[in-house]
Amino acid sequence: MPVGEICTREVVVASKDTTVQDAAHLMRQHHVGNLLIVDKPNGNSVPVGIVTDRDITISVVATKLDPSVFTLGDLVTEKLEMVTEDQGVFETIQQMRLRGIRRMPVVGRDGKLVGIISLDDLIQLLAEEMNELSKLIAHEQTREAQLRQ
């Protein structure tokens, strides 16, 4: 199954020049724990970073920096790991595990933002699949009992 089928398509975005304080307000307003940082060449959102509530807590609040001065661009340093919307779920899980990350932007082949995939999304999918397998076991046992009568 392509990851584009299960990713969250409504993503809250911000730019590198958004202050940490404004970012925290966005997270609160939209009830999310992360923001995708995007550049918008030609009007298309292209992911360039991700900032989580944990990043803000550890890098700004805990070090007593002024959140009204520091920007998201100040927090984004690492190369952003992304996945294309046609990449498979298993391959995505492997990539996340190898990199030790819990969420990744999902992009189209053109690099434009499509959504975000998180550990929570993948666990939900796997739980649904496990539930369907458990129904198969119960159905098989019922069918076998009927055939033996």
Domain membership flag for residue 30: yes
Q: CB count, 10 Å around CB of 50?
A: 22
Residue 48 lies inside a defined structural domain of this protein: yes
pLDDT score at 142:
74
Residue 76 lies in a domain: yes
pTM: 0.83
Nearest to 4 by CA among 94, 137, 100, 105: 105
Give, in order, the Cα–Cα distances in Å from 6 to each of 31, 40, 47, 116, 130. Answer: 20, 24, 19, 9, 16
Judge whether 143 lies within some domain.
no
* Domain tally, the chain: 1
The tens place of each residue's pLDDT in the chain, 149 residues long, gives 999 999 999 999 999 999 999 999 999 999 999 999 998 866 778 999 999 999 999 999 999 999 999 999 999 877 899 999 999 999 999 999 999 999 999 999 999 999 999 999 999 999 998 898 888 887 777 777 777 77
82 lies in some domain: yes
3-state secondary structure of 8: strand
Sort strands 34-39 and 46-52 into parallel, antiparallel or unpaired. antiparallel
**Is residue 72 situated within a structural domain?**
yes
61: DSSP letter: I
The radius of gyration of the chain from alpha carbons, rounded to an integer in Å, stands at 20
Q: Give the range of the structural domain holding residue 8, as residue numbers without chain letter.
A: 3-118
CATH code for the domain in which residue 41 is found? 3.10.580.10
Q: Which of 21, 80, 14, 93 is nearest to 49 (CA)?
A: 80
The DSSP 8-state label assigned to residue 23 in this structure reads H
136 — alpha (psi -120 to 50), left (phi > 0) or beta?
alpha
